[in-house]
Amino acid sequence: MSMDMTTVGDPGLLDTLQHEVAVFARRAEQTRLGGVGQVRNSMDRAAYLLLNRLDKEGPMGVKALAASMGIDSSTVTRQVAPLVDTGLVKRTSHPEDGRAVVLQLSPRGQARLEEVRSSRRQLMAELTHDWAPEERETFCALLTRFNGALSARTAAQGMPQTETAPAS
């Protein structure tokens, strides 16, 4: 579904939007949205998303985790290996099929994830301290909608997705 970008809206506004998204992506990567005390509380984006997904959805196999995140199994396997090595995720046998492996957030992983979440919440509060509650809600709703549109576009093009919104 191709669109003539000149008919979508004000080209100046679209230029500003694409620039601000690029600046946001760069700044987010620079800080890794680590929150306060960045070095201690930063976490790789892939690790954060994997730990968050396991926390929200519970123990699951590699294929199920990959499917829920919209990425391929080999990517999950590669990304989860250091999390297992550092004790943030543990591999256990599937309760119904002992041959199958299930990935599960370890107590250490749960504590580390909460530490990072808390720090990120504090950062979000700091960055938006002078925003009205309605502005925070609107920004969150629009960012969620924007991410959903990016995800849908990626899926429609048959490209693997690298991130999805957290499960509610």
pTM of the model: 0.75
- 106-123 pLDDT tens trace: 999 999 999 999 988 988
Measured CA angle at 55 (ends 54, 57), to 5 deg = 65
- 36-61 pLDDT tens trace: 555 556 788 889 999 999 999 999 99
CA 18 → CA 12, 14, 15, 27, 159, distances in Å?
Answer: 10, 6, 5, 14, 21
Beta bridge partners of 104: 90
d(CA 160, CA 158): 7
Give the per-residue pLDDT at 1. Answer: 45
- 73-110 pLDDT tens trace: 999 999 999 999 999 999 987 777 767 789 999 999 99
Give the per-residue pLDDT at 164. Answer: 43
Q: What is the pairing mode between strands 101-105 and 89-93? A: antiparallel
